[in-house]
Chain A
Amino acid sequence: MDLSAISPVLLIASLMVSATPILLAAIGELVVEKSGVLNLGVEGMMITGAISGFAIAVETQNPLLGLVAAALAGAILSFIFGFLTQVLLSNQVATGLALTLFGLGFSSLIGKSYSGVKPPASARLDIPLLSDIPILGPVLFRHDLMVYVSVAIVAGVWIMLKFTRAGLVLRAVGENHDAAHALGYKVVRIRLLAIMFGGACAGLGGAYLSLIRVPQWTEGMTAGAGWIALALVVFASWKPWRVLLGAYLFGGVTVLQLNLQAAGLAIPVEYLSMSPYLITIIVLVIMSSDRNRTALNAPASLGRTFHASH
């Protein structure tokens, strides 16, 4: 066993990469849940984004176009969910689960001809000057564009929810849809927009996996990342920065345990493999253990069907 082979700098740098898919999916789902909708289809939207982005990037040889396509595919898939639950008033839990099953099946159908294909490489974005700072440079400033985009989305969501009227209206709709309706806000329209934003984020997260992190297409490659994203949102008490923290913690432990496996630590591989899930959940459960404050931040209308009575 040789622990000295693990470089802390590389570890931190790679944890950001490894956490980005979950972070993207979770921040999108946070917005969806803040509007009062529970979309359990994150996994399905992620994998659909992964294959759509991969296919478009391979066909056009343009990774950026692939990412755009992934966001679009995620948004379209989530629109199906939105239409079913918001307009046709179907059950959100059942529809979300169906979306995941559909996404998994659909992606493996499309993906048949893409296994083993290599996608075009995405450019690494070395920020000049900043990336030359010792330690901080490689850790923070030598990533691909999407790592920064994902952090920017978290910051944007935080600002939107906390400081803007649009965010206030979104929270109001998630808190009490009947009251929001009585005040003249378009509950269904606002929720559809939130759902599609969530779908686009999940799609991006999926494409980040297949285009940048891995990068190749394998069937079922999201491997439960969507479910972790869903759990993160709840354990992070619907707070954007906590979602970031949780995602990086998960990413960090994932990378660390891979390194430990490589270093030949005398712990069975199974325990190491489950450690990211366990540790993330334990930490976030402890952080959200004050039930009252969590309850306050939880959207009160979450998962309830809205039907205008007049």
Chain B
Amino acid sequence: MTGKRDPLLSVQGLTKAYPGVLANDDISFSVLPGEVHALLGENGAGKSTLVKMIYGLVHPDRGEMMLNGVPYAPAKPGDARLAGVAMVFQHFSLFDALSVAENISLGMEHPPRPADLSEQITRVSQAYGLPLDPDRLVGELSAGERQRVEIIRCLLQDPKLLIMDEPTSVLTPQEVGILFETLRKLSREGTAILYISHKLEEIRDLCDSATILRQGRVVATCDPREHSARELAELMVGEILQAPERTSANMGEVVLDVSGLSLPAPTHFGTALENIGFSLRAGEVLGIGGVAGNGQDELLASLSGETRTAPHCIRLDGRPIGNLGPNARRELGLLAAPEERLGHAAAPDMSLTENALLTGAIREKLVRNGVISWAGTRKFARRIIGEFDVRTPGPETPARALSGGNLQKFVIGREILQRPEVLVVNQPTWGVDASAAASIRQALLDLAQKGAAIIVISQDLDELMEISDTFAALAAGHLTKPRPAHGLTVEEIGLMLAGMTTEEAPHADA
């Protein structure tokens, strides 16, 4: 990407304010034809608002855009698509009950006849190494395949600019590799790609240039290959980051023992758990990796007690607890924090105090003879807010009003303060900004240091490698044998995630 060329897209002074926040403040940058341009920033830095303006979903308050040298102001996504701008969304904009072809047809302005469309889908999907059956229902596809649907939907319209919003957050390393090959091929063919992510190594690997946003402003434009990931991160966050630290891992007795845990899929689109077994020692952090939809929610539900099993499948301190419900398990010291913050981990319209009571009632003894001790509950909520730096006006704020990161700190803090013997967390830092994520990870490590056993279920492999003592992969409802996390290579993890069991890789046991 050398020499002076006319930009494909140039953005000048784009500004967008929402009540109370300036989401984008005077943003200017440009993308060259065929360039892979990264848009970097933390959650809430304004990346999503910016690309929504480029895609015509949101209209800027001020500023202008030029596409191919002509003024460009899409009133709706259809206009953007006609102008050659396509977008792959972070949360897939797909319809589970419709077929691949129907889903693709919905994203096109002038779709061809169904038979022609199926033929085109097959042809394009083969040309770009993304095999896909047009007649399958999207609800039956894996996350990687779903993303292919989105990408092919975009490619069929021959876009000049392809916007990708956090495309790799749900993919296995192998799938990321395939995606990058496709993107490089597109870039060679002259399609510009606007790539949104906060995964710095990926950006350094793939992108030609980067625009870094912080709090709605452009703070730097640079070539990501000339900077270290750490420098980029510090530009993004605006402060010096500290990696979580752990003094030493001293493990004790086995506290949780799971064996022969099998459960049928709860719904049509759910995953069945098959013969899951592992044991966990006091002070150990077990990281369970895997792409969402491979049984994570089901595993969490069976450990927390929401789904019950035969008593002997799960043993806590040798005592069979598989048939106990969540409250009985809490009483024994097995606590859990599910992934979905609003609606599962916390009741959105209830105050933080009330939410603190919901899981803390038993261990914190907040209920006496059926009467709630509000004074004690408020004190407990304040302790969580204080110790975990939850930014909120006070304990009477409804959970819904907190930002994702703050609510997550509250949810995790609520369980940690109850001194669990075993804590199970699912996606503890999903959608949480880097500094909040770091403090959540540190809190988990501190808890392990005090002798609690922790299971972290996550899609973020970097996170798991950072904090886990042992690592296991969950693929299609099977859990691989846990292996020491230290020294695992990306390739080995990829194989584990792809569902290869340790029997197929005999050298595995360390």
Please give the residue numbers on chain A whose beta carbons come within 8 Å of chain B beta carbons, in ascending order. 165, 168-169, 171-172, 175-176, 178-180, 182-185, 292, 295-297, 300, 310
Does B224 lie at the interface of the complex (its beta carbon under 8 Å from any beta carbon of A)? no
From B76, B94, B96, B102, give the contact of A184 (CB < 8 A): B76
From A176, A183, A295, A300, give the contact of B107 (CB < 8 A): A183
Taking A165-B111, A295-B267, A310-B57 as contacts, is the C-beta distance between A182 and B95 under 8 angstroms?
Answer: no
Q: Which of B94, B95, B268 has the most CB of A within 10 A?
A: B95
Which A residues lie within 8 Å of B81 (CB)? 184
Q: How far is the CA of A266 from the CA of B52 in the complex (A)?
A: 71
Q: Which of B78, B106, B107, B267 has the most CB of A within 10 A?
A: B106
**Pairs A–B under 8 Å by Cβ, sample size 10:** A168-B102, A171-B95, A172-B95, A172-B106, A176-B95, A183-B106, A183-B107, A184-B56, A184-B81, A295-B267
Which B residues lie within 8 Å of A172 (CB)? 95, 98, 102, 106
> Which chain A residue shows the least CB distance to B268?
A292
> Which chain A residue shows the least CB distance to B78?
A184
> Which chain B residue shows the least CB distance to A163?
B114
Q: How large, as a class, is the contact surface on chain B?
A: 20 to 34
How many A-B residue contacts, CB cutoff 8 Å?
Answer: 59
Q: Mark B232-273, 1 if CB is under 8 A from A, else 0.
A: 000000000000000000000000000000000001100000
Does B89 lie at the interface of the complex (its beta carbon under 8 Å from any beta carbon of A)? yes
Docked complex: B76-131 residues within 8 A CB-CB of A: 76-78, 81, 89, 91-98, 102, 105-107, 111
From B49, B52, B91, B93, give the contact of A183 (CB < 8 A): B93
Q: How far is the CA of A117 from the CA of B49 in the complex (A)?
A: 63
> How far in angstroms is the closest Cβ of chain B from A189?
12
Residues B111 and A296 in contact, CB atoms below 8 Å apart: no
> How far in angstroms is the closest Cβ of chain B from A176?
5
> Which chain B residue shows the least CB distance to A296?
B97
Please give the residue numbers on chain B whose beta carbons come within 8 Å of chain A beta carbons, in ascending order. 49, 52, 56-58, 76-78, 81, 89, 91-98, 102, 105-107, 111, 137, 139, 267-268
Closest 3 pairs between A and B when the two form their complex, measured CB to CB: A184-B77, A179-B93, A182-B93
Taking A183-B106, A184-B77, A184-B78 as contacts, is the C-beta distance between A296 and B89 under 8 angstroms?
Answer: no
Taking A168-B106, A183-B106, A184-B77 as contacts, is the C-beta distance between A175 and B98 under 8 angstroms?
Answer: yes
Which A residues lie within 8 Å of B94 (CB)? 176, 179
Which B residues lie within 8 Å of A171 (CB)? 95, 97-98
Q: Which of B102, B111, B137 has the most CB of A within 10 A?
A: B102
Q: How far is the CA of A194 from the CA of B81 in the complex (A)?
A: 27
Residues B96 and A176 in contact, CB atoms below 8 Å apart: yes
Residues B106 and A296 in contact, CB atoms below 8 Å apart: no
From A168, A175, A178, give the contact of B105 (CB < 8 A): A168
> How far in angstroms is the closest Cβ of chain A from B438?
28
> How far in angstroms is the closest Cβ of chain B from A104?
33
> Which chain B residue shows the least CB distance to A175?
B95
Which B residues lie within 8 Å of A176 (CB)? 93-96
> How far in angstroms is the closest Cβ of chain A from B284?
39
Which B residues lie within 8 Å of A182 (CB)? 57, 77, 89, 93
Which B residues lie within 8 Å of A185 (CB)? 106
Residues B105 and A165 in contact, CB atoms below 8 Å apart: yes
* New A-B pairs, 4, CB < 8 Å, besides A183-B93, A184-B78: A168-B98, A184-B56, A297-B97, A300-B97
Which A residues lie within 8 Å of B89 (CB)? 182
> How far in angstroms is the closest Cβ of chain A from B285?
35
Which A residues lie within 8 Å of B52 (CB)? 310
Which B residues lie within 8 Å of A183 (CB)? 77, 93, 106-107
Residues A179 and B78 in contact, CB atoms below 8 Å apart: no
Q: How far is the CA of A182 from the CA of B90 in the complex (A)?
A: 11
From A175, A178, A292, A310, give the contact of B96 (CB < 8 A): A175
Q: How far is the CA of A179 from the CA of B111 in the complex (A)?
A: 18
From A165, A178, A180, A296, give the contact of B139 (CB < 8 A): A296
Which A residues lie within 8 Å of B95 (CB)? 171-172, 175-176, 179-180
> Which chain B residue shows the least CB distance to A291?
B268
> How far in angstroms is the closest Cβ of chain A from B95?
4
> Which chain A residue shows the least CB distance to B74?
A184
Which A residues lie within 8 Å of B57 (CB)? 182, 184, 310
Q: How far is the CA of A168 from the CA of B101 in the complex (A)?
A: 11
> Which chain A residue shows the least CB distance to B139?
A296
